[in-house]
Structure 1
Amino acid sequence: MTKVHERFLKYVAFDTESDPDSESCPSSEKQKDLGYHLLDEMKSIGIQQIEMDANGYVYGVIPASDGCETYPKLAFIAHMDTSPDLSGANVKARIVKNYTGEPIVLNAEKNIILAPEDFEHLGQYVGDDLIVTDGTTLLGADNKAGIAEILTMAEVLIQSPDIKHGPIKIAFTPDEEIGRGADRFDLNKLDADFGYTVDGGELGELEYENFNAATAKIKINGSNIHPGSAKGKMKNALLIGMEFHQMLPAFENPAYTEAYEGFSHLNDFGGSVEEASMLYIIRDHDLELFNRKKSLFESAATFINQKYGANTVELGITDSYFNMKEKILPHFHLIENAQKAMEQLNIKPLIVPVRGGTDGARLSYMGLPCPNLFTGGHNFHGKYEYIPIQSMEKAVSVLIEIVKIYAQ
């Protein structure tokens, strides 16, 4: 039987970075390279009805144990892409065995150090084996750890006929990191009653509240002219962009917020005097506050256009996903059973609001109630990302325990 971390280390060798500027699905064709590998692996494990559709979505089924065919059909879902925030190519992962609690030198040449004084959660894992990067890429535990955990669970179930279970559905999606993971998800093909995304963070995390999310794209149309004769004529798009940003609340910024506090985050800003662009993500758990944030963008754009002329600022706001809470509460057994599974394994459930989103949020609104379970990783989307092997193993155990509970 393949160990969960062995699977994971194979998957991170695939560069699956999604591309927010692409209109195709998947947004980067290289995501399918991992998809084809997963199909082969799923076949070798014994998963049935496997396929990858034209859009890069991978599906599979573990038929119910004899006598359990009418039990709830549970889906376990993860995503194949990694964040475009940092390169996922040429990932050089290594295992720090029996972590001592001291700083970990990821890259001596570039003086990149994973230190407990910067990341206090490292102290929880003294004695564990940590998978880290060399400090030049992200690791990819978000969400290749989830894929590894789901397929390890699948292998255990198939090789252990004494573990009774209902129908188990498996799906791996592209493009979750750019907000499109559920865009072309075929729920009819999945044919599940309930689901769990395995896309959370540290050991014990259980999430059924997430941000309401939107993206604001701004184009600023300036007017360039030689600075020696620019008086009364030049409109500097870069300076207008800075002015626009200053109209937003300074402390509604990710660097100043936590828990249920929302934010507007300037993710990209570039251009020239003639033309500039800005990309924001807008987040809030509270729908009223979320809509208020979007309205503030519209007010700022209106003000700038009144000041500098019509169409100086072109603003487009697109909703990405909404808080899944209202869709989960009518099916709260999903949370209670996940808690029960963790407690039976002596894992303390950490019910926290997601300061982000998952495919599960969109899927919940599409008709598949789908909270989020931990993978065990930390510091996603950056060079300090790491994951303890023991947390991955416990994630597999939780998935198996949930399956058992739904078969009781």
Structure 2
Amino acid sequence: MADTPDAPWLTIVGIGEDGLNGLSPAARDALERAALVAGSPRHLALLPGLRAESLAWPVPFSAGVPMLLARRGDPTVLLASGDPFWFGAGSSITRHLRPDEWTAHPAPSTFSLAAARLGWALQDVECHGLHAAPLTRLRPGLAPGRRAILLLRDGPAVGQLAAWLTEQGFGGSTLHVLEALGGPRERIRQCTAEAPDLADIAHPVAVGLSVAGEGRTLPCASGIPDDWFDHDGQITKRPARALTLSALAPRPGETLWDIGAGCGSVAIEWLLAHGSTQAIAFEVDPDRAGRTRANALHLGVDRLTVMEGRAPDILTGRTRPEAVFIGGGLSQSLLAALFALPGGPTRLVANAVTLESEALLARWHADKGGDLLRIELAQAMPLGSRRGWRSAYPLVQWSVTL
């Protein structure tokens, strides 16, 4: 077994439901030369009569990676569904390898096959792999007239999808249920979410979703209404949140620390800004930390990481991210700790409502610069038989680049 192979020892082959018939000549040649063919039992069953040794990939998927790497240098084929690099296993394997160790031969993805069957322009359709992800990831895109193609775990997941859509007020949505696309068992049926009357849905299954109904649609702009969040009163209210997100200025691929997260509204809206953003919410109160997790799941950003603990202690040993928001727990020691942490340029935004915290921000602004903003808001409320202005506590916001 060679430690430094002259040619790729691993070939990742995308396979469809038509088995060997759908493979390219290059993929067939790789199978002929392979000493080992690895894949799920379903994929291996699509290629009967293999001369190579076969390895049924274990569950969880990560358990198979060391088994594969132990054969490094032996001609090996890894079978994956359709396009291995679109919601597939490809990158989970190649990140452990050098570029010269592997090659790939993709097949048409389920998304491409579904779009071709339904006549949908794929660039205008949301695509989701929900084999092991919550259905709530669909929440930001639920709007009448929108379309999505969803890869689901199994047949019962279609019924779960229908029930969840109905709960969200989108029971009128059409579900195009696409079974075993591209193979002899292919079948396409449709129903509505409120009347999912299909039986014996076979795996593998995808759903083409045409959204319809009277459910609430999540706004795209920062500062979504407060009632989207479950909270106990500890929430950055909508107007202040919009100004806060504007100062934090989320950009693709960036990470936010939300310190004193409360119900997580700022971190959640940061994540809603772009699918590649990341966020960590720090919260000392266990109940509020749990509420933050639930809000993130409900609004489709379950990638939010919630850490329970008190800042600045919980920040020890970390490297500052691109942006930090202090919504609670503002103190001299916290600001000093943040400035002392290693990291590149970091946009810091801190909000204060008490006289003491306002004075603290004024001192740090005088020393470090940045922008100091005083926000005063009033809302029209009933006043006897008429209306009057009810003022909220003034908010002082300091934004600076560390």
- Per the normalisation by structure 1, the TM-score is 0.21
Larger Rg: 1 or 2?
Answer: 2
State the structure with bigger RCO (CA 8 A, min sep 6), 1 or 2: 1
